[in-house]
Amino acid sequence: MTGPSPTIWFCYHSGPDNYAYNMAMDHALLENAALIGHPTLRFFSWTEPAASFGYFQKIAEIERMTLLRPLVRRPTGGGLVPQDADWTYSVAVPPSDPWYELKAVESYRSVHEWVCAAFAKMGVTTELAPSRRQSLPGQCFAGWEQFDVLWSGRKIAGAAQRRTRQGLLIQGSVQPPPLKLARADWESAMCDVAQSARGVQWRDFTPDELLRERAEALASGTYSRDTHNRKR
């Protein structure tokens, strides 16, 4: 893990939810990053198989790439990601934090160094991709970008970002290697290596009523609607 870090981070185990709410909560965390005041690491999962795709991708192309439904347009960029048994997480960073000042390639590398360090703590050897290898355009796990996480020559972790005046949002997906690994152990390892490598002091996070209401409004009014998911 490289790059600066504050002392206090929030950790939010939000559990499983539907495709629209998962995207909506990340969106709400980005909108409220400055008010929250510290970076928030969120671990979440999916109540049904789905596929998310990048904010700027065209829905017609996505429909040809996968049979998975529903499809949801992420608040971040990137490509098509199958969402089901993967280990998903997000990081929402306020503008006051040094992570916000990192260039996109630097924040991308830093978060994946973090993922690699967590796997190393579990006894699993991974590496960062030294260069780009794109075999199928638009599909995140068909090839890889520089600094994606590789295990035994295949991509197992990728991420997408969005930076606004409100903060920085990173959404990540880990397709775990076919080993006897528990998601809970990986989540613990993510927190442990941040504490040991960066001196992060973790605080549990519980969204307040206003944040929950905003996420619910985004879920019902944006991320579950064709006007958003089929906007281009």
What are 3-54's pLDDT values in tens digits?
Answer: 444 589 999 999 999 999 999 999 999 999 999 999 999 999 999 999 999 9
Residue 107 has pLDDT above 60, yes or no: yes
Mean pLDDT for 142-161 is: 89
Q: For the structural domain made of 8-229, what CATH number should be given? A: 3.30.930.10
Task: Please give the structure tokens belonging to residue 217.
Answer: 């409004």
pLDDT of res. 144: 76
pLDDT of res. 133: 63
Report the alpha-carbon distance of residue 86 to residue 157 in Å, rounded: 9
Of the candidates 226, 229, 221, 216, the one whose C-alpha atom is nearest the C-alpha of residue 18 is: 216
Task: Please report, for the chain, the start and end positions of each structural domain, with discontinuous segments joined by +.
Answer: 8-229
Report the alpha-carbon distance of residue 219 to residue 23 in Å, rounded: 7
pLDDT of res. 7: 81
Of residues 40 and 144, the one with the higher pLDDT is: 40
Task: Please give the structure tokens belonging to residue 20.
Answer: 């629209």
Residue 115 has pLDDT above 70, yes or no: yes
> How does pLDDT run across 118-137, given as a tens digit for each residue?
999 999 999 999 877 665 55
pLDDT of res. 155: 93
SS (H, E, C) the chain: CCCCCCCEEEEEEEEEECHHHHHHHHHHHHHCHHHHCCCEEEEEEECCCEEEECCCCCHHHHHHHCCCCCEEECCCCCCEEEECCCEEEEEEECCCCHHHHCCHHHHHHHHHHHHHHHHHHCCCCCEECCCCECCCCCECCCCECCCCEEECCEEEEEEEEEEECCEEEEEEEECCCCCCCCHHHHHHHHHHHHHHHHCCEEEECCCCHHHHHHHHHHHHHHHCCHHHHCCC
pLDDT of res. 4: 47
Average pLDDT, the chain: 92
The size of the chain, in residues, is 232
Residue 138 has pLDDT above 60, yes or no: no
pLDDT of res. 131: 78
pLDDT of res. 3: 47
Q: Model pTM?
A: 0.92
> How does pLDDT run across 47-97, given as a tens digit for each residue?
999 999 999 999 999 999 889 899 999 999 988 999 988 999 999 999 999
